[in-house]
Amino acid sequence: MEKLVIEGGKSLKGEVYISGSKNSALPIMAATLLTDEPCTLVNVPALRDTKTMGKLLVSLGKKVEFKDNTVVISNSEKISHIAEYDLVSTMRGSFCVLGPLLAKLNKAKVSLPGGCVIGVRPVDIHLKGLKALGAKIDIENGYVLAHCKQLKGTQIYLGGIFGSSVLATANILMAAVLAQGKTYIESAACEPEIEDLANMLIAMGADIQGHGSPRIVVKGVKKLRGVKYRVIPDRIEAGTYILLAAVTNSDITIKNAEYSHLFSLIDALAQVGIKVKKTKTGMKIIKKHKLQPVSLTTLPYPGFPTDLQAQFLTLMAMTPGVSVITEKVYPDRFIHIAELNRMGANIRREGANSIVQGVKSLIGAPVMASDLRASAALVMAGLAAKGKTEIHRIYHLERGYESLDEKLLALGAKVYREDN
């Protein structure tokens, strides 16, 4: 197993090109189960997670061809309705095959995805929505068993105790496009990734309105066709590099990123004293000499993304004064605090809040990555810290950041891999 070694304490400079969105690509790949015709997906990031979804689709009977950042998906044999534990258990996003399998085959057997280090994320909202569409669902031996004669449109409320669910919205949306009649999805997730999925489904022949808002209306169609579709840029990767530029006081230009997808981050940074300027091809970061602490709460889109909480917390760890970061999407998502404190940060957790007392500098140390976004936060901290940082379990990074080493090296960072 490899570790990432970072020699920090220096500013970076250059351009970084943002890859396609992982969180868009996964449900979009799953949506190809809804058609028997070939689909070509462009701007798909070459990541461990997208490769896992490809393997899952192959196990279901699809032919999947990756070439650079283009994926061609077609039928190779009769599509199976069974998504096995070995693949679904490795990536929670795999659970989004449930909706399209049920809609296409009128039956599905999909392994429950299990928990993860950032807390239990139940699938009850997914099942509630599919039951409302007419599916009969049982859970046996760790699998969701769903079947129906024909899904039928209805009115569905998808709100949960922590707000809307992106994956549940994707599952219900994909199921509804082949259902009989109209489906009204209330309290739908508004994330750009849901809008992207809906736009792809529309290109395949679906009838969808209201995507990008809390109320999506779907009129079922009998059949969907193949499509060529380009995945949107990854707003979380873009946000990570923006925060990296801020924490290392670097002159970095972000290319191929959607400014409109990052308003909550841009507003939060403005309060800190950092301006994100829109350019013709992306964004550029302008940092003031004196930064200000802030209070921030993560919320479903268009609120501040939970997937940027760890990275923003790292910036606050080096900002003078006291900041308070409240996590309202996944309240247990603070495992990175202990690792940042190993590097000299002064952070304490109080329930769903982290209280951050800014320090002048961080010091390099051996640290352990716990999840994808925590890993990115530790990379940021390592690049800003004095001395050498060793990040273990870097396989987490490979799930969501394409060519991270190469992109950092191109910006002038001193990073390299070593065997443990």
CB 311 within 8 A of CB 282: no
Euclidean distance between CA atoms 158 and 181, whole angstroms: 19
CB 328 within 8 A of CB 352: yes
Q: Letter for the amino acid at 5?
A: V
Q: How many angstroms separate the Cα of 405 from the Cα of each of 55, 128, 366, 393, 401?
A: 25, 42, 18, 15, 9
Hunting for tokens 């070593």 — which residue is that? 418
How far from each other are the two terminal CA atoms of the chain, in whole angstroms?
6
> What is the arrangement of strands in the sheet containing 207-209, beginning at the earlier edge strand?
155-157, 182-186, 215-219, 207-209
Euclidean distance between CA atoms 7 and 388, whole angstroms: 5
Q: Which of 96, 116, 148, 190 is catalytic?
A: 116
116 catalytic? Reply is: yes
Residues 6+ apart with CB under 8 A from 170: 27, 30, 96, 99, 189, 193, 194, 197
Q: How many helices (H) and strands (E) does the chain have?
A: 13, 24
CB 333 within 8 A of CB 370: no
Q: How many angstroms separate the Cα of 4 from the Cα of each of 7, 242, 308?
A: 10, 21, 21
Cα-based angle 403, 165, 140 (whole degrees, multiple of 5): 100
Please give the backbone phi and psi of residue 60, each rounded to the nearest 5 degrees, phi first.
Answer: -90, -5
Please give the backbone phi and psi of residue 207, each rounded to the nearest 5 degrees, phi first.
Answer: -115, 100
Question: Which residue numbers are catalytic?
Answer: 116
